[in-house]
């Protein structure tokens, strides 16, 4: 009985420390997503539909466990061993080029570990990268006030290295792109001067423009941007996914055609490609209409808002930057995915956080939010905060 009481006491302590508001928002998003996934996979048959729902649900259950675990972990303490984080980041991505690596959707982005769901290393590494980058930027902020070239160069070089490393090993530019984006959000929050960003973005734009003029960019990259500027370009090829997605999204009207009743969603294989992953927002738009889409957007906004709200009360620069990094990740991923469905952003393989199908994705998202929850559990008392 004493052992049971101690166990119950430990569980209560863990739950008490966690941010239950954030967890509740994540669970609502996930539950909504599971319903959409069930609808989106109905055309595959009952057995496959149940399998996808169970995998997503299992990922969510493991994610909740990870959420509580990370809510009780002080990342500042672990980040002192920063070289271990860096070795893990590089080594885990390198597994893509071992026999464990698997190719899907044209990219070698997955590793198989004998589980029903494969793991995407870039999503897992994003967690440790964000913590490590937050420590790096926080050091510059606290010691050099983000002044000087080093404050820009070293963290930016870290993010760009990870992008290049992921792209070279997997050819997945979309997943790799998240790393520089997370850096930009953190650097802005840390107070890096705007002119550095203007210079960097301007230089990047000029560089990409020159590569395009001299036809040095991969053709499929050029095609994905071309189709955004001209929707009539290759409607049966590179523009097919987004054309069908926009058709589904626009046909839902205000209240949609009804759950499990969307024409495109319930159609055959070629009706709406990647409907349970990249184009889950189109499923929502077709079957639940604009109202359903607005609910999705509001839920995503509330999760992001909770991350930034936690950043404001964090006890250290590093903790605050961790929250900003994960909030930036969610913003970019949400905007890119919805923009892709609206045919105003290129398809780069980024899913809608918490809603799209993917066991490792949902697990890593809950773990990230658990880290944010841990930051909130260690905030300073009101009388010590600067106003």
The pLDDT tens digits for 291-326 are: 999 999 999 999 999 999 999 999 899 999 999 999
End-to-end CA distance of the chain: 48
Local confidence band at 383 (pLDDT 50, 70, 90 cut-offs): very low
Local confidence band at 387 (pLDDT 50, 70, 90 cut-offs): very low
HSE toward the beta carbon, residue 290, CA cutoff 13 A: 3
What is the DSSP annotation of 278-334? Answer: TTHHHHHHHHHHHHHHHHHHHHHHHHHHHHHHHHHT-SSHHHHHHHHHHHHHHHHHH
- Name the strand (E) or helix (H) holding 368: helix 359-377
CB 26, CB 88: distance < 8 Å: no
CB 334, CB 353: distance < 8 Å: yes
Buried b (16+ CB within 10 A) or exposed e, 165-188: bbbebbebebbbbbbbbbbbbbbe
Reading the block at residue 370, the tokens are: 């658990």
* Euclidean distance between CA atoms 337 and 144, whole angstroms: 37
Per DSSP bridges, beta strands 101-104 and 107-111 are antiparallel
Nearest one of 296, 281, 297, 286 to 343, comparing CA atoms: 281
pTM: predicted TM-score of the whole model, two decimal places: 0.91
Chain segment 11-59, per-residue pLDDT in tens: 676 777 789 999 999 999 999 999 999 999 988 889 999 999 999 999 9
Nearest one of 90, 82, 27 to 59, comparing CA atoms: 27
Of 76-80, 172-176, 195-199, 296-300, the range with the lowest mean pLDDT is 195-199
Of 243-247, 329-333, 364-368, the range with the lowest mean pLDDT is 243-247
HSE toward the beta carbon, residue 379, CA cutoff 13 A: 20
Of the segments 116-125, 160-169, 221-230, which one has the largest average pLDDT value?
160-169
CB 289, CB 266: distance < 8 Å: no
């Amino acid at each position: 009985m004493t052992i049971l009481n101690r166990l119950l006491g430990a569980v209560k302590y863990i739950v008490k420390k966690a941010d239950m508001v954030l967890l509740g928002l994540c669970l609502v998003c996930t539950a909504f997503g599971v319903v959409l996934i069930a609808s989106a996979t109905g055309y595959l048959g009952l057995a496959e539909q149940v399998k996808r729902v169970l995998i997503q649900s299992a990922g969510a259950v493991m994610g909740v466990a990870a959420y509580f675990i990370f809510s009780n972990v002080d990342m500042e303490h672990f980040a002192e061993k920063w070289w271990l984080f860096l070795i893990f980041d590089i080594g885990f991505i390198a597994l893509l080029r071992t026999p464990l690596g698997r190719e899907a959707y044209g990219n070698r982005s997955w590793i198989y570990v004998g589980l029903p769901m494969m793991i995407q290393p870039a999503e897992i590494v994003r967690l440790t990268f964000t913590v490590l980058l937050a420590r790096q930027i926080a050091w510059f902020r606290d010691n050099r006030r983000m002044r000087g070239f080093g404050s820009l160069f070293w963290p930016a070089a870290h993010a760009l290295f990870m992008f290049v490393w992921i792209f070279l090993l997997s050819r997945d530019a979309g997943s790799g792109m998240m790393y520089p984006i997370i850096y930009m959000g953190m650097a802005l929050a840390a107070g890096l001067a705007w002119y550095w960003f203007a210079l960097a973005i301007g230089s990047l734009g000029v560089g990409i423009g020159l590569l395009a003029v001299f036809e040095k960019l991969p053709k499929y990259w050029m095609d994905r941007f071309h189709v955004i500027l001209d929707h009539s370009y290759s409607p049966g090829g590179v523009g097919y996914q987004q054309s069908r997605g926009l058709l589904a999204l626009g046909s839902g009207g205000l209240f949609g055609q009804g759950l499990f009743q969307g024409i495109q969603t319930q159609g055959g294989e070629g009706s709406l490609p990647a409907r349970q992953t990249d184009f889950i927002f189109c499923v929502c738009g077709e079957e639940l209409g604009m109202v359903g889409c607005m609910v999705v957007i509001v839920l995503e906004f509330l999760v992001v808002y909770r991350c930034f709200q936690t950043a404001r009360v964090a006890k250290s620069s590093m903790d605050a930057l961790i929250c900003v990094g994960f909030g930036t990740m969610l913003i970019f991923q949400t905007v890119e995915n919805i923009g892709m469905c609206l045919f105003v952003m290129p398809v780069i393989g980024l899913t809608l956080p918490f809603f799209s199908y993917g066991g490792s994705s949902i697990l890593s998202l809950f773990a990230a939010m658990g880290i944010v929850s841990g930051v909130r559990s260690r905030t300073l008392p009101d009388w010590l905060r600067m106003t």
